[in-house]
């Protein structure tokens, strides 16, 4: 056993308090920890103490070779969120799950997340976070080739990146002059 739980229920606290806690895991093992923890919760009859185990992810649009591809990226690599009623038994179930390195908190006592943090991480707020975010693959000074539009096959240098609107400003050599042109991510490709 890994010692006694540092979390002792205060008499003023309600016994049925489901809060979100963050667990540290080995990076890249988040999904395995989620599966292991869910299995342990069931096998140790702790289901009433747990509501959700979440590996926070977001949909990201990447542009690869001129094609937009939607992928899922982990928002917090190395962390898993758990909505649970923190009791000694529940603490032990999580703490002894393979791949879990501990709870996030001050000292040995796990600190619950504020609801605003939970909303932001899980994108449950109303700020358009359901929309997939563009993954910026272009950087300033990078050379690109225009793949569509009137300037197709021209090369240029990236001088501005607007990830929110998925646009680039590219200096293109036209008639021996550098002309700034605004293009979308899918109108250019990187030069190898």
Encode the chain (192 residues) as per-residue pLDDT tens digits: 444 444 444 444 444 589 999 999 988 899 999 999 999 999 999 999 999 999 988 777 777 777 777 777 777 888 999 999 999 999 999 999 999 998 887 667 788 988 888 887 777 544 444 555 556 677 888 888 888 887 888 888 989 888 777 788 989 887 778 888 888 888 888 886
* Nearest C-alpha neighbor of 87 from the set 3, 20, 18, 7: 7
Contact 62, 135 (CB under 8 A): yes
- The model's pTM: 0.57
Q: Which domains does the chain have, with CATH numbers?
A: 18-134 (3.30.70.940), 143-190 (2.30.30.30)
Q: Give the list of residues 6+ apart from residue 90 with CB closer than 8 angstroms, or none.
A: 46, 49, 50, 84
Given the DSSP bridges, would you call strands 57-64 and 67-74 parallel, antiparallel or unpaired?
antiparallel
Q: How far is 72 from 59, CA to CA, in rounded Å? A: 5
* Nearest C-alpha neighbor of 49 from the set 94, 98, 5: 94
């Amino acid at each position: 056993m890994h010692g006694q739980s540092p979390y002792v229920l205060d008499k003023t606290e309600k016994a049925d308090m489901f809060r979100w806690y963050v667990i540290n895991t080995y990076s890249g093992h988040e999904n395995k920890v989620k599966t292991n923890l869910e299995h342990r919760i069931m096998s140790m009859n702790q289901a009433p103490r747990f509501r959700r185990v979440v590996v926070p992810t977001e949909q990201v649009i990447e542009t690869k070779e001129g094609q937009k591809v939607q992928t899922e990226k982990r928002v917090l690599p190395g962390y898993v969120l758990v909505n649970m009623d923190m009791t000694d038994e529940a603490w032990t179930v999580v703490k002894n799950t393979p791949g879990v390195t501990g709870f996030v908190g001050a000292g040995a006592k796990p600190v619950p997340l504020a609801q605003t943090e939970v909303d932001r991480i899980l994108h449950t707020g109303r700020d358009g976070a359901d929309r997939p975010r563009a993954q910026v693959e272009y950087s300033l000074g990078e050379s690109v080739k225009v793949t569509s539009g009137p300037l197709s096959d021209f090369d240029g240098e990236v001088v501005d990146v607007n990830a929110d609107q998925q646009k680039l400003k590219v200096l293109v050599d036209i008639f021996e002059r550098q002309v700034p042109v605004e293009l979308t991510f899918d109108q250019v490709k990187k030069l190898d």
